[in-house]
């Protein structure tokens, strides 16, 4: 059976552990200068409908480290659904390359690519989920805390794709998750209805009170730019700043998937502070995605 990574639900707890083990090995090899050309002569097609810094650089660099090659397909190059249908594009790519990574506007697009492609497909971001980000984040938390057991993650901000993927990961892995959003900006019900270890609140102080990890993201995602001014007013009480963090554990760390809108969802003093691990999680996008690509190649 073909394996894809479109949502966190595509992997079991045991499979996620396997990928984290691979990620750790690959990171250690890189840090020691040991070559790991596991995907020698393999090609990754990177389909982009949305711009990116981290996703493009980490996937392309990761494929190079693994001995393979990555092809960047910009929106103007492929024009999914315009020049040809999504299924036709996926079937063509399947004849030429070995893996597809797609960063798209709607989740249905990456689902349609996965259904039509005969090769593994990775969700590099959709409006519903951002599973590669969460894999990097959870790997980073394990590095810092040693385990996900007995760890409480507080997500403060918009109930967006990152938030949805955190919920799905908590369902699969069982860690405790607190989510604080303004009323009307909660994560999707089809996720929260399944979540046994997730607490929803509209009070950021309540969410972070027992948290080991304080996580935030932008208030207006790509495609919501027209709502930016309105959202600033609604979300300002949810800013991660020094005053808010006085209400949490002494051993907390702060995370942000980046890019950050400094002075909005997070203050300069926090993102640049001693408790911030945002650059560690950004680096781990590279290592975690290498682990995902290797694992998928081994299971297809």
Is the pLDDT score of 222 beyond 70?
Answer: no
Same fold, 8-130+285-298 and 133-281: yes
CATH number of the domain located at residue range(s) 133-281 in this protein: 3.40.50.1370
In this structure, CATH architecture of domain 8-130+285-298? 3-Layer(aba) Sandwich (3.40)
Can you give the residue ranges of every domain in the chain?
8-130+285-298, 133-281
Q: How confident is the model at residue 220 (pLDDT cuts 50, 70, 90)?
A: confident
pTM over 0.85: yes
Which residues carry out catalysis?
A: 103, 130, 133, 217, 257, 285
Tens-digit pLDDT profile for residues 163-209: 999 999 999 999 999 999 999 999 999 999 999 999 999 999 999 99
In the chain, the percentage of residues whose pLDDT exceeds 90 is 91
Q: What H or E segment, with its residue span, contains residue 272? A: none
């Amino acid at each position: 059976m073909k394996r894809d990574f479109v949502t966190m639900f595509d992997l079991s707890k045991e499979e996620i552990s396997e990928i984290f083990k691979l990620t750790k090995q690959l990171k250690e090899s890189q840090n020691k200068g040991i070559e790991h050309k596991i995907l020698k002569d393999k090609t990754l097609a990177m389909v982009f409908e949305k711009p990116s810094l981290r996703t493009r650089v980490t996937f392309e660099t990761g494929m190079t480290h693994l001995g393979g090659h990555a092809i960047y397909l910009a929106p103007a190059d492929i024009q999914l659904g315009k020049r040809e249908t999504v299924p036709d594009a996926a079937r063509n790519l399947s004849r030429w390359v070995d893996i597809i990574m797609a960063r798209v506007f709607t989740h249905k697009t990456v689902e349609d690519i996965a259904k039509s492609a005969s090769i593994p497909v990775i969700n590099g971001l959709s409006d519903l989920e951002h599973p590669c980000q969460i894999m990097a984040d959870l790997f980073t938390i394990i590095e810092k805390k040693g385990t996900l057991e007995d760890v409480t993650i507080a997500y403060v901000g918009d109930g967006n794709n990152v938030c949805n993927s955190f919920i799905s990961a908590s369902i699969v892995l069982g860690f405790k998750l607190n989510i604080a959003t303004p009323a009307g900006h909660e994560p999707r019900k089809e996720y929260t209805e399944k979540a046994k270890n997730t607490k929803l609140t509209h009070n950021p102080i309540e969410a972070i009170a027992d948290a080991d990890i304080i996580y935030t993201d932008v208030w207006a995602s790509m495609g919501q730019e027209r709502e930016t001014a309105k959202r600033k007013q609604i979300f300002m009480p949810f800013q991660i700043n020094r005053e808010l963090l006085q209400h949490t554990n002494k051993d907390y760390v702060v995370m942000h998937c980046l890019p950050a809108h400094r002075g909005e969802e997070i203050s300069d003093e926090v993102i640049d502070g001693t408790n911030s691990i945002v650059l560690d999680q950004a680096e781990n996008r590279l290592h975690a995605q290498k682990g995902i690509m290797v694992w998928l190649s081994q299971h297809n």
